[in-house]
Amino acid sequence: DVQMTQSPYNLAASPGESVSINCKASKSINKYLAWYQQKPGKANKLLIYDGSSLQSGIPSRFSGSGSGTDFTLTIRSLEPEDFGLYYCQQHNEYPLTFGSGTKLEIK
């Protein structure tokens, strides 16, 4: 199984700042990495797929990069609604596996 190691576990930032969240796969997953946002009371939201493709309807301040084993989600100019939990997931092979999550909090 592909293990996904996500960092940092917690992240505190202020609105307007930029942040990056990292995800490392235990073996190459080519470009097949997705990022999701989780917020209380809302359905989980797909942000990025195929490493860097922006899901329809997601603001362009979200971007993804990487391939092989190392990936990054970057959020530029944080908005108040961006705070929450973020998960990476490899979609290269079964079993599908997720990172452990990053909690993005307001500083």
Cβ–Cβ under 8 Å, residues 33 and 89: yes
Near another protein by CB under 8 A, which window of 16-24, 66-74, 75-83, 97-105? 97-105
Query: Phi then psi for 61, rounded to 5 degrees?
Result: -70, -15
- In the complex with another protein, which residue's Cβ is closer, 11 or 46? 46
36 contacts: CB under 8 Å, gap ≥ 6: 44, 45, 46, 47, 86, 87, 88, 89
Rule CB under 8 A: say whether 95 interacts with another protein: yes
In angstroms, the CA 36 to CA 59 distance is 13
Rule CB under 8 A: say whether 89 interacts with another protein: yes
Interface characters, 50-69, with another protein (x: CB under 8 A): x----x--------------
Given the rule CB under 8 A, which residues bind another protein? Answer: 32, 34, 36, 38, 43-46, 49-50, 55, 87, 89, 91-92, 94-101
